[in-house]
Amino acid sequence: MAVERLRQEAFELQSEQRASKATVAAGARAVDVPGLMQADPGTRARTMSALQRGAGNAAISRALRPTLARTLGAEQADHIAEEVHDGVEGWGTDEDQIYSAMAPVTAADLPQLSGVYRGKFDADLVEDLRDDLDEDAIQANIAALRRSGPDATAYELQEAMEGLGTDEGRIYRALSGVGDAELPAIEAAYTARTGNNLRADLEDELNTEEFRRLPVYQAIGLDAVAQQVHDAVEGMGTDENAIYGALAGRTQEAIDQIAAAYLRMYGTFMIDDLIDDLNEDEMARLATLSPAFAPEGAAGADSGAPTAVAVQLRDAMEGIGTNEAAVCAALSNRSPADIVAIKAAYLALTGRELEVDLRDDLSGDDLQRALAQLGMAQTITETDTELGGLMFGNFDFSFSGGAVTVTARLKFEFRDDVPVDERDPFKTRFLNAARTTWEHPPFGLHGEGACPTPDVPVEIQVLEDDANPHKVVDVTNDERREHVIIEVNVSKHTTDKTIAHEFGHVLGLCDEYDGGFENLMFWHENRADDPTGIMNNGTEYRARYFESLRQRVQAAAPPGCVYHVVRTR
């Protein structure tokens, strides 16, 4: 057996991958805001444009924006220091005076301003502010002290895992939209905050299945096959059929890539683990299934490859109970041409259509995944969702034809005091405001690896339907505070911006502003550091708003296919 060669190839491939990963990490590490502040303007501009080309994400550019701002004039800095000091001094705190004084200050201006403040008052500016204002108020109102970029994400992750229990939803939201390019900077920021390794903490706090649902740590392409082989050797007893299925009929090149991924992910050689776990007869069988495991110099088994896979599929489905892991591994990351050959071999072997047997033996997400592995477009439908405690997040979800469509049906109910002639115009205005914001959001899903549909647009339909509504819109004449509990409660004076926010609740999104005592309620997921999001007090979209849709598509995606929420325009 060409064990030495398998090890060598695995090692070489893994080293190459390391090298390319390291480049990304170095690029992301360069987001060193204090360091950049000291650089000359030319270097700053070059570094920033290189980063945007390389990492290309809004979070990084947001983190860097302050470094490009002009510094404060001496007189201005002096005045701001006076105003702030006056605001924090004595009885009570004049929040408004502090906020307006600090309004023009960016994070990049802080060292200068702190120096002026210390010179005048022999005190620390940031300490004085933190003594007098609570952290949420600071995050919401003082841009210079606001968490941003990778550090904001690291903070969310830290909070989600701190103390008793873990807030899984908060972890998923924090990492929503994060890809390989952004991860190193977030991991570094997390270590800076906690002294811990992010991945290790996540693996500690989440069970294996939950951890593997984090898109940025999910196995892409052939990495998924390496994971399937590892699962098969790691579990209670060895699942030989899954090993055979995963490796049968793979080309030499594919086996090399799987072995390299295995070494990179688990730190051990796949061939060594296989020799440990399989007896000699089983290793001999593996050699007949895949040419890579055949003895040196022996003829490859390429011509029989599809049959080898078909045999594994038949064995996995035969008898009582189905070995889902083995079916999944056998079909994992096969090319369209491979799939055609495997289906033909299965028909020749069993006299039955593979698809028919899969439908007989599998159900739910397992079946959807297997059909997706055959290259069939996935179809997921869910009607009348309940995302938030039977109160909000009510719509129909469909993933079909490679696109996500959300449908929310509304019924308008006007209180008697709303003049009749104002009702239709309000309806039109409400529907327009909700549609303009949500119908074609500038975010969608992008799948990496073995995805039948790599680019998945998201469309959100806002319909009026009196007969069968998801939500009733209750409209009053008098101004009132808008809210969504069982109904969408608004008044005819509600602004378009607020309508867009309230409709976010229909989509299952929580309030992100600092709501005082209301923060305790389950519809709050505060992001005081992010006042410009739609679910806070602004109008901007966030990747996390689409996380529940991504999770629905991902649940039935084949292994090796990983969906991220991405900005599409």
Q: Nearer to Zn ion by C-beta: 414 or 523?
A: 523
CB of 470 to Zn ion, least distance (A): 17
Taking each helix axis from N to C terminus, what angle separates 336-350 and 305-317, rounded to the nearest 10 degrees? 60
Candidate ranges 119-127, 296-304, 448-456, 506-514; the one touching Zn ion (CB under 5 A): 506-514
CB of 504 to Zn ion, least distance (A): 7
Q: 3-state DSSP call for residue 46?
A: helix
CB of 511 to Zn ion, least distance (A): 4
Q: Nearer to Zn ion by C-beta: 240 or 511?
A: 511
Candidate ranges 57-65, 181-189, 350-358, 510-518; the one touching Zn ion (CB under 5 A): 510-518
Q: 3-state DSSP call for residue 1?
A: coil
CB of 501 to Zn ion, least distance (A): 6
CB of 515 to Zn ion, least distance (A): 8
Residues numbered 344 to 373 that lie near Zn ion (CB under 5 A) are none
Q: Nearer to Zn ion by C-beta: 44 or 483?
A: 483
3-state secondary structure 478-514: CCCCCEECCCEEEECCCCHHHHHHHHHHHCCCCECCC
Q: Nearer to Zn ion by C-beta: 167 or 511?
A: 511
Q: Nearer to Zn ion by C-beta: 132 or 511?
A: 511
**458, 441 in Cβ contact below 8 A?**
yes
CB of 502 to Zn ion, least distance (A): 6
Residues numbered 388 to 447 that lie near Zn ion (CB under 5 A) are none
Token pair recorded at residue 207 = 């069970």
Q: Nearer to Zn ion by C-beta: 182 or 511?
A: 511
Q: Using the rule CB under 5 A, which residue among 167, 223, 273, 511 binds Zn ion? A: 511
> Given CA atoms 220, 221, 226, 228 in this order, what sign does their dihedral have?
positive
Total residue length of the chain: 569
Compute the C-alpha angle 112/114/116, nearest 5°.
70
Q: Are strands 403-414 and 443-449 parallel, antiparallel or unpaired?
A: unpaired
CB of 485 to Zn ion, least distance (A): 10
Q: Nearer to Zn ion by C-beta: 369 or 505?
A: 505
Q: Nearer to Zn ion by C-beta: 170 or 213?
A: 170
CA distance 329 to 342: 13
CB of 371 to Zn ion, least distance (A): 39
The DSSP H or E segment spanning 153 is helix 149-161
The size of the interface with Zn ion (CB under 5 A), counted in residues, is 1
Token pair recorded at residue 160 = 């989600």
3-state secondary structure 376-427: CCCCEEECCCCCECCCECCCEEEEECCEEEEEEEEEEEECCCCCHHHHHHHH
> Is 514 a binder of Zn ion (CB under 5 A)?
no
Provide φ and ψ at 459, rounded to 5°.
Answer: -125, 140
**178, 186 in Cβ contact below 8 A?**
yes
Candidate ranges 205-213, 261-269, 323-331, 503-511; the one touching Zn ion (CB under 5 A): 503-511
Other CB atoms within a 10 A radius of the CB of residue 495 amount to: 12
CB of 95 to Zn ion, least distance (A): 23
CB of 7 to Zn ion, least distance (A): 57
Q: Nearer to Zn ion by C-beta: 201 or 511?
A: 511
Q: Nearer to Zn ion by C-beta: 338 or 511?
A: 511
CA distance 372 to 380: 12
Q: 3-state DSSP call for residue 531?
A: coil
Q: Name the residue number minimizing CB distance to Zn ion.
A: 511
Candidate ranges 289-297, 382-390, 504-512, 557-565; the one touching Zn ion (CB under 5 A): 504-512
Binding residues for Zn ion (CB under 5 A): 511
